[in-house]
Amino acid sequence: MIYLQHILFALFGLLIATCSGPGIPREALEPYLEGKKLYIQGDLEGSRQILLAVYQQTPHFSQNSYLLGKACYFLGDYAEADAVWRETLDRNPHHIDSRKWLARLHLQQEASTSAADIIEKALEDSSEDPELLILLARTKIAAGDYGAAIQLYQRAQLFEQQLAEARIELAEIYQSFGLREKALPELERAKELLDQESPLRPALWSLLGALRGDIP
């Protein structure tokens, strides 16, 4: 129990360090977490009011302003969401989540050229992010460039293969500890992700057969 408490305290400390960052007063963290809680619960207006107050006091708190932009977006205040995300990126150009949502907003407003510019900038930091690749593919479709869109979707699909590999290896760990009930769901999810020609399929079927007690 004492060991578990130490872990929980360490995780809480990591949360504070991650959320606050350099120059963020700790007193801003508590209202931010309250605003995030209201956002998750669906109280978007209540969340916006709290996050806006934090934003006015600590505008360089990127996670707060990013979430404030999302609250504004889902409340239909697109101009405010656009402004908040742009200001977030002015202060923290590498905040990829803000770039993704700003790009979504521009796509929704049929401003595919500006959306593409936003995504291309984000890809400089995360060149194989499947979400960014899918968003960029949508801008190509809007521009009528279906060949480029297909290539981007194909690149994004590579992430599914990596995710499947991670699930297979996680299942192997579970199996080594006799946790069959945890291993099988991971393998079933991996099976859904893999294409028919994947070199991972033999390992997947072998492990499934061992866990089920048969040979598929």
User: What CATH number should be reported for the domain holding residue 50?
Assistant: 1.25.40.10
Is residue 141 one of the residues assigned to a domain? no
Is residue 67 pLDDT above 70, yes or no?
Answer: yes
* Better-scored residue on pLDDT, 199 or 29: 29
Is residue 114 one of the residues assigned to a domain? no
pLDDT of residue 162: 78
Tell me which of 61, 92, 123 is where a domain ends. Answer: 92
Q: If we measure between CA atoms, which residue out of 179, 139, 177, 134 comes closest to residue 157?
A: 134
Is residue 145 one of the residues assigned to a domain? no
DSSP state letters, the chain: -HHHHHHHHHHHHHHHHHHH-TT--GGGHHHHHHHHHHHHHT-HHHHHHHHHHHHHH-TT-HHHHHHHHHHHHHTT-HHHHHHHHHHHHHH-TT-HHHHHHHHHHHHHTT-HHHHHHHHHHHHTT-TT-HHHHHHHHHHHHHTT-HHHHHHHHHHHHHHHHHHHHHHHHHHHHHHHTT-HHHHHHHHHHHHHHS-TT-TTHHHHHHHHHHHHTS--
Tell me which of 44, 70, 92 is where a domain ends. Answer: 92
Is residue 5 one of the residues assigned to a domain? no
Query: What does the pLDDT look like over 68-126, one tens digit per residue?
Result: 999 999 999 999 999 999 999 999 999 999 999 999 999 999 999 999 999 999 999 88
Region 190-210: mean pLDDT is: 78
pLDDT of residue 186: 87
pLDDT of residue 14: 41
Residue 23 binned pLDDT confidence (cut-offs 50, 70, 90): low
Is residue 198 pLDDT above 50, yes or no?
Answer: yes
Burial of 114 (0-12, 13-18, 19+ CB in 10 A): middle
- The domain containing residue 195 runs over which residues? 157-216
Residue 215 binned pLDDT confidence (cut-offs 50, 70, 90): very low
Is residue 8 one of the residues assigned to a domain? no
Tell me which of 73, 92, 111 is where a domain ends. Answer: 92
Residue 207 binned pLDDT confidence (cut-offs 50, 70, 90): confident
* Better-scored residue on pLDDT, 13 or 140: 140
When divided into structural domains, the chain yields a total of: 2
Is residue 113 one of the residues assigned to a domain? no
Is residue 37 one of the residues assigned to a domain? yes
Query: What does the pLDDT look like over 125-180, one tens digit per residue?
Result: 888 888 899 899 999 999 999 999 999 988 887 777 777 888 888 888 888 888 88
pLDDT of residue 20: 40
